[in-house]
Amino acid sequence: MRNGNNFRDDNGSARTLFDKIWDRHTVTTLEDGPTQLYIDRMYCHEVTSPQAFAGLRQRGLKVFRPKQITCIPDHNIPTVNQEQPIRDTVSRNQVETLGRNAGDFGLTCYPVGHPKNGIIHVVGPENGLTLPGMTIVCGDSHTSTHGAMGALAFGIGTSEVEMVLATQCVFQSRPKTMRITIDGKLGKCVGAKDIALYIISQIGTGGATGYFIEYAGETVRNLSMEGRLTLCNLSIESGARGGMIAPDETTFEYITKTVGAQPLFSEKEMKYWETLYSDSGSVFDKEIAFRAEDIEPMITYGTNPGMGMTVNGKIPNHCGHSSGETVKRALDYMGFRAGEKLTGKPVDYIFLGSCTNGRIEDFRAFAGLVSGRRKADNITAWLVPGSWHVSEQIREEGLDRMLIEAGFEIRQPGCSACLAMNDDKIPAGKYAVSTSNRNFEGRQGPGARTILAGPLVAAAAAITGVITDPREI
């Protein structure tokens, strides 16, 4: 790991990718204050928007730019029997409130069961709603995901959702910039999730607080669009406001494939896209570099995403970013001891899904490792596609048949067990290997013990019933 601060060179006009998008969207910057930033697109889900719409009504306001807002319920929705009314009446009210607000204010909504419904951070990129060079916000910290398309995307609170509804702008302090460069060739069974968990284990959950990250380097360039979305998704877990990757052929091919080849974009827009990279000589407030060869399949052992290690490693005696007290508290909660290995430990639940790992590539990886084997008897597995589109891809590729024959069940799309707002809750004390993004205490249900991992580590545990290094299968 190389760590250092850069100094501005002679070329003062060289700008980073972040600078270019931020500057283009700056309406004004207040003296010793925040920037008034223009927002191209906002996504609203049912949990963090109702109070914002209520605020608009109280002030007697309309939505300022309704065409730039898309409403998608995803947090509360069940992953079975979606065609029936939601049984939890409080959840149902929240989901229905979003639909009503969208209707009243003239906004596009993809309700439960709509072919474009799914997790916002999966649906946006796959429907051409998220495009390079845009500013994108949502009342959801994982909005950082959209940065993978070369957009400037970040999570906001509900008061800020109300600001965007009312004025299409937010006030934000300009974050510092950080470039994380990863070069080299990834080893066997190492994917984007492992890269992200590795980075967070190295820099800590507050390591990028105050910064906006640009991911660069050969390893990042070689990631698929799905992999890039996973990497940027987890930026917030290191505290960053967001993460982004300069758009390239991979990005443009993805857009063409998902949106269609027809010339939907103006010449001005395409010209702008061509400028979306960090100029050579542009200066970042902080630069960090990693080698791909140092990264192995990862798991977490504690109660924040920074407490990660290689799957066959031993739980360290201390975590560089947390006090001894914090680590002890985490290990007590998890029922683990410092110095012990986790491979061979029985697991109860497997969760494949979420805005982190609910895309087609994740299902391909999981199914590829399962191939010809069966789910272990002690495992309850929830396989939850990130969207109906992903669900359809799974079916088209025959992965559903293969997984069902292996003893798995594929559920309907939604955020599901990632934050357990619906019925998909991990029971207290049980261990879950989850491809989601947070292992906080109680995140997947009160008392639930979450071990974060990528789809291959999850698949290896699903077929063996214990934590297993996927390279040994």
Partner 1 sequence: MDRFITLTSTVVPLPVENVDTDQIIPARFLKATSKEGFGDNLFRDWRYDEHGQPVSSFVLNNPLYGGSILVAGKNFGSGSSREHAAWAISGYGFRVVVSSFFADIFRNNAMNNGVLPVVVSAGFLAGIFASVETNPCATLTIDLPEQRITDNFTGKSEHFAINAYKKECFLNGFDDIDYLLSRKGTIETFEKTYY
Among 38, 252, 273, 277, binds partner 1 (CB under 8 A): 38
Which single residue is written with the structure tokens 């050579």?
280
Are 331 and 362 in contact by the 8 Å Cβ rule? The answer is no
Q: Which stretch binds partner 1 (CB under 8 A): 19-27, 248-256, 283-291, 393-401?
A: 19-27
Contact call for residue 147 and partner 1 (CB under 8 A): no
Contact call for residue 156 and partner 1 (CB under 8 A): yes
Contact call for residue 436 and partner 1 (CB under 8 A): no
Contact call for residue 260 and partner 1 (CB under 8 A): no
| Cβ nearer to partner 1, comparing 409 with 423 | 423
Q: Which stretch binds partner 1 (CB under 8 A): 47-55, 109-117, 218-226, 345-353?
A: 47-55
Q: Which stretch binds partner 1 (CB under 8 A): 164-172, 180-188, 249-257, 288-296?
A: 164-172
DSSP per residue, 191-213: -HHHHHHHHHHHH-TTTTTTEEE
E-strand spans in 395-460? 431-434, 449-452
Q: What angle do CA 323, 329, 333 make, to 5 degrees?
A: 150
Closest to 41 (Cα-Cα) out of 127, 117, 100, 159? 127
Chain residues 112-141 in contact with partner 1, contact rule CB under 8 A: 139-141
Q: Which stretch binds partner 1 (CB under 8 A): 186-194, 203-211, 404-412, 460-468?
A: 203-211
The amino acid at residue 200 is I
* 8, 100, 370, 371 from 402: Cα distances, Å: 55, 40, 9, 7
Backbone Cα Rg of the chain: 22
Q: Which stretch binds partner 1 (CB under 8 A): 32-40, 185-193, 217-225, 290-298?
A: 32-40
> Whole-number minimum distance, CB 59 to partner 1, in Å?
8
SS3 breakdown of the chain: % helix, strand, coil, rounded to 5? 35, 20, 45
CA 25 to chain centre: 24
Chain residues 395-434 in contact with partner 1, contact rule CB under 8 A: 419-421, 428
Taken in order 129, 135, 140, 145, the sign of the CA dihedral is positive
Q: Which stretch binds partner 1 (CB under 8 A): 33-41, 220-228, 359-367, 455-463?
A: 33-41
Among 18, 19, 22, 50, binds partner 1 (CB under 8 A): 50
Chain residues 80-109 in contact with partner 1, contact rule CB under 8 A: 88, 90-91, 93-94, 97
Rounded Cα–Cα distance for residues 144 and 137 (Å): 9
Are 146 and 129 in contact by the 8 Å Cβ rule? The answer is no
E-strand spans in 64-222? 69-71, 108-109, 135-138, 152-155, 169-172, 176-183, 211-216
Rounded Cα–Cα distance for residues 410 and 404 (Å): 8
Q: What is the dihedral of CA 160, 162, 167, 170, to 10 degrees?
A: 0
| Cβ nearer to partner 1, comparing 126 with 162 | 162
| Cβ nearer to partner 1, comparing 27 with 404 | 27
Which single residue is written with the structure tokens 């995307």?
153
| Binding pattern for the stretch 169-198 against partner 1, x by CB under 8 A and - elsewhere | xxxxx-x-----------------------
Q: For residue 216, list its beta bridge partners.
A: 181
> Whole-number minimum distance, CB 64 to partner 1, in Å?
8
| Cβ nearer to partner 1, comparing 443 with 449 | 443
The amino acid at residue 3 is N
Chain residues 210-239 in contact with partner 1, contact rule CB under 8 A: 210, 236-237, 239
> Whole-number minimum distance, CB 166 to partner 1, in Å?
6
| Cβ nearer to partner 1, comparing 91 with 251 | 91
Chain residues 304-333 in contact with partner 1, contact rule CB under 8 A: 304, 322-323, 325-326, 329
| Cβ nearer to partner 1, comparing 67 with 395 | 67
The tokens of 107 are what?
């906004």
| Cβ nearer to partner 1, comparing 130 with 172 | 172
The tokens of 462 are what?
């699903």
> Whole-number minimum distance, CB 88 to partner 1, in Å?
8
| Cβ nearer to partner 1, comparing 92 with 373 | 92
Contact call for residue 21 and partner 1 (CB under 8 A): no
